[in-house]
């Protein structure tokens, strides 16, 4: 009973202490809210009422009244950049960089934001200068990634290779794929100027970085053809089947031309047939289809597409079948076939595009690098209809 009596005495004391603490907290909150510019509170109110333009004006006024609001400077600068007002974002972050009363961590953050502003505005030289200042600091890794993006936009592939090698995860498959393509870009430039020794150096570097680099094999074969070595080129291009058979369609025309120059058309024809049977591809079918129309006639092309349709039914294949049928049809049948072909063709236009695996962007033309997300080798040479039919 004595213990319960003391508890009864302690309860009012605890209650009084809690009330006192709450009063202190409330006074602190009220004091801090009064210390904030009224425009800051007005800005919050506009945000809550979904009036972002008025909110921004109030926040800008709050920054003018109280320059010490560093975090508000950062928030406004980022908001301006997202809205496309890069000139205002640059001014906001430049003010922070020039201030002497902020911490070194805040200065680095402001420099990083300023570099992103310049990058968004397309001022690549200024962005590069900012991110180079961040090399060797705590923001080094972030600076490297932005520098890599800048050098890719400028097509300065040599610098891009150097920066990629400095990344902490440069041995990953993702970066090996990118660096191999940087070497391929340099190889393509050298090939255009007939600097074959330089092409070979970059192709070797690409394959050493990523032995599955199909693009390097394509270029290597092109160099051999330019040097009159068709047999050696064919051996290089055949290697693509083991690297990634999805890309065989890109080399099909090169293969047939090389076999033609060697006087071995039938061997080339058999090779493409074997590839199509083992690795079905609408682009590969299209290449073989047009070759058979030119060399063997519409009947052979019709039989080819009909057989392929039985194995892999597609609208694009049906469109090819109708194209061959038109060439062999009688005048009475031609009108009906043409009508059906027009109806089918309207649908095939929607499924005859390439699609980026990374972002889903679609294009009628094949790209080694996605125009939307910038990913390398994310555009497999397969039409969207083939993706839809994949189990």
Query: Is residue 178 situated within a structural domain?
Result: yes
Q: Is 362 helix (H, G, I), strand (E, B) or coil?
A: strand
Which range marks the domain in which residue 210 is found? 171-243
Query: Is residue 179 situated within a structural domain?
Result: yes
For 343, residues 6+ apart whose C-beta sits below 8 A from its C-beta are: none
Banded model confidence at residue 60, pLDDT cuts 50, 70, 90: low
Percent of the chain, pLDDT > 90? 31
Average pLDDT over residues 240-245: 92
Rounded CA separation 318/324 (Å): 10
Q: Is the pLDDT of residue 52 over 90?
A: no
At 366, give phi and psi (nearest 5°): -75, 140
For 179, residues 6+ apart whose C-beta sits below 8 A from its C-beta are: 161, 164, 165, 170, 209, 210
Banded model confidence at residue 389, pLDDT cuts 50, 70, 90: very low
147 close to 163: Cβ distance less than 8 angstroms: yes
Please give the pLDDT value at position 333: 73
Higher pLDDT, 355 or 158: 158
Query: Is residue 177 situated within a structural domain?
Result: yes
Rounded CA separation 313/386 (Å): 10
For 281, residues 6+ apart whose C-beta sits below 8 A from its C-beta are: 246, 248, 249, 381, 382, 386
345 close to 326: Cβ distance less than 8 angstroms: no
Query: Is residue 212 situated within a structural domain?
Result: yes
Banded model confidence at residue 232, pLDDT cuts 50, 70, 90: very high
272 close to 252: Cβ distance less than 8 angstroms: yes
CATH number, domain at 179?
A: 1.25.40.10
Please give the pLDDT value at position 377: 84
At 291, give phi and psi (nearest 5°): -65, -40
Query: Is residue 42 situated within a structural domain?
Result: no
Banded model confidence at residue 26, pLDDT cuts 50, 70, 90: very low
Within 10 angstroms of residue 231's Cβ, the number of other Cβ atoms is 11
Handedness of CA 132, 136, 140, 145 (dihedral sign): positive
256-281 confidence digits (pLDDT tens): 999 999 999 889 889 988 998 888 88
Structural tokens at position 231: 């047999």
Q: Is 363 helix (H, G, I), strand (E, B) or coil?
A: strand
Place of tokens 């099909």: 252
Select, from the ranges 2-16, 20-34, 247-261, the one with the highest average predicted confidence (pLDDT).
247-261
- Averaged pLDDT score across all residues of the chain: 78
62-93 confidence digits (pLDDT tens): 545 444 566 767 777 787 788 888 888 888 78
Tell me, what DSSP letter sits at residue 354? E
Query: Is residue 180 situated within a structural domain?
Result: yes
Which residues line the annotated binding site? Answer: 356, 359, 370, 373
Rounded CA separation 139/133 (Å): 10
First-last CA distance in the chain: 77
Please give the pLDDT value at position 65: 41
Banded model confidence at residue 307, pLDDT cuts 50, 70, 90: confident
Determine whether 265 is exposed, middle or buried from the number of CB atoms within 10 Å of its CB (0-12, 13-18, 19+): middle
Rounded CA separation 340/311 (Å): 22
What's the Cα-to-Cα distance from 59 to each of 29, 81, 83, 221, rounded to whole Å?
20, 15, 15, 61
Query: Is residue 224 situated within a structural domain?
Result: yes
Query: Is residue 211 situated within a structural domain?
Result: yes
Handedness of CA 265, 267, 273, 275 (dihedral sign): negative
Please give the pLDDT value at position 28: 40
Average pLDDT over residues 213-224: 94
Average pLDDT over residues 20-37: 42
- Of 274, 264, 269, 313, the C-alpha closest to 290 is 269
Count how many domains the chain has.
1
Q: Is 383 helix (H, G, I), strand (E, B) or coil?
A: strand
Q: Is the pLDDT of residue 300 over 90?
A: no
130-166 confidence digits (pLDDT tens): 999 999 889 898 999 999 999 999 999 999 999 998 8
Average pLDDT over residues 357-378: 85
Handedness of CA 244, 212, 384, 257 (dihedral sign): negative
Which residues line the annotated binding site for Fe cation? Answer: 356, 359, 370, 373
């Amino acid at each position: 009973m004595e213990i319960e009596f003391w508890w009864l005495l302690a309860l009012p004391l605890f209650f009084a202490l809690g009330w006192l603490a709450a009063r202190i907290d409330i006074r602190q909150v009220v004091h801090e809210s009064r210390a904030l510019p009224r425009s800051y509170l007005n800005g919050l109110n506009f945000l809550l009422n979904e009036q972002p333009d008025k909110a921004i004006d109030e926040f800008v006024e709050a920054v003018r009244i109280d320059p010490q609001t560093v975090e508000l400077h950062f928030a406004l600068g980022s908001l301006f950049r997202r809205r496309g007002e890069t000139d205002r974002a640059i001014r906001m972050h430049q003010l922070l960089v020039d201030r002497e009363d902020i911490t070194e961590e805040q200065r680095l953050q402001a420099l990083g934001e300023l570099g992103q502003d310049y990058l968004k505005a397309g001022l690549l030289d200024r962005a590069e200068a900012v991110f180079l200042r961040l090399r060797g600091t705590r923001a080094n890794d972030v600076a490297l990634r932005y520098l890599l993006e800048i050098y890719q936009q400028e097509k300065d592939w040599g610098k891009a290779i150097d920066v990629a090698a400095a990344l902490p995860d440069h041995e990953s498959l993702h970066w090996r794929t990118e660096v191999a393509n940087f070497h391929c870009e340099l190889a393509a430039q050298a090939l255009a100027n007939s600097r074959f020794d330089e092409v070979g150096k970059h192709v070797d570097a690409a394959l050493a970085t990523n032995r599955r680099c199909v693009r390097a094999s394509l270029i290597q074969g092109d160099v051999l053809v330019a040097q009159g070595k068709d047999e050696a080129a064919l051996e290089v291009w055949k290697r693509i089947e083991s690297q990634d058979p999805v890309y065989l369609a890109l080399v099909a025309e090169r293969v047939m031309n090389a076999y033609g120059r060697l006087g071995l058309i039938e061997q080339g024809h058999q090779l493409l047939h074997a590839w199509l049977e083992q690795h079905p591809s609408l682009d590969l079918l299209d290449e073989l289809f047009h070759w058979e129309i030119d060399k063997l006639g519409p009947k052979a092309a019709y039989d080819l597409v009909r057989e392929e349709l039985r194995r892999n039914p597609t609208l694009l294949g049906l469109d090819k079948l109708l194209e061959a049928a038109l060439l062999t049809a009688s005048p009475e049948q031609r009108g009906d076939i043409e009508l059906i072909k027009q109806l089918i063709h309207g649908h095939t236009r929607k499924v005859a595009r390439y699609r980026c695996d990374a972002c889903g962007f679609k294009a009628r033309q094949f790209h080694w690098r996605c125009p939307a997300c910038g990913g390398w080798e994310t555009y497999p040479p397969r039409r969207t209809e083939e993706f839809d039919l994949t189990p």
